[in-house]
Amino acid sequence: MTRHTLRPATPGDYDAIAAVVDAWWGRPILASLPRLFLDHFHRTSLIATSASGAMAGFLIGFLSPSAPREAYIHFVGVSPEARGTGVARELYEEFFGMAREHGRHVVKAITSPVNEASVAFHRRMGFTVNGPVPGYNGPGTTLLTFERALT
């Protein structure tokens, strides 16, 4: 497994993420990641770079201001070239450590039921999968929820 360099995100990382995210997903997804996430949650978000210095992945997450025991992973991306190298696991483990340091006991996330790779990854990372939950984000949306206790 390749070890990547992880660093806290900055608001300035948004443009680099926005430039690749649709291509990394293979479909338009940028609308799910507005700039405000890096403007307001960059201190709890992460960027992974490869040995060449290229962005290998990113994690946008935050410590819930309303649920003091919870942290939330909003969006994760891994470049096609870095898939299978362990970068997503590294990003999640770093975020788990950050959440623990801030007294959080649970990490939550969501995904679409059609995102089978995400579901499998979250199960491997120890998350429980719940749903599908009809109407999770309003009428016509169905999502799966993930939850992992931090020990």
- pLDDT, tens only, 11-51: 999 999 999 999 999 899 999 999 999 999 999 999 999 99
Confidence tier at 88 by pLDDT (50, 70, 90): very high
Mean pLDDT value across residues 121-150? 97
For residue 83, count other CB atoms closer than 10 A to its CB: 14
The number of CA neighbours under 13 Å toward the Cβ of 5 is 8
Q: Which long-range contacts (CB under 8 A, 24 or more apart) does 85-89 make?
A: 85/1, 85/2, 85/4, 85/56, 86/1, 86/2, 86/3, 86/4, 87/2, 87/4, 87/48, 87/56, 87/57, 88/57, 88/121, 89/1, 89/125
pTM for this predicted structure: 0.95
Share of the chain above pLDDT 70, in %: 99
Residue listed under structure tokens 């609308």: 31
Asked if 1 contacts 85 with a C-beta cutoff of 8 angstroms, the reply is: yes
> How far apart, in whole angstroms, are the C-alpha atoms of residue 5 and residue 151?
25
Q: Are 146 and 109 in contact (CB under 8 A)?
A: yes
Q: Is 31 exposed, middle or buried (0-12, 13-18, 19+ CB in 10 A)?
A: exposed
Q: Which of 82, 69, 72, 73 is nearest to 24 (CA)?
A: 82
Q: Is residue 151 predicted with pLDDT exceeding 90?
A: no
Sheet architecture: strand order including 55-63: 5-8, 46-49, 55-63, 70-78, 106-111, 142-149, 128-134
Determine the pLDDT at residue 3: 80
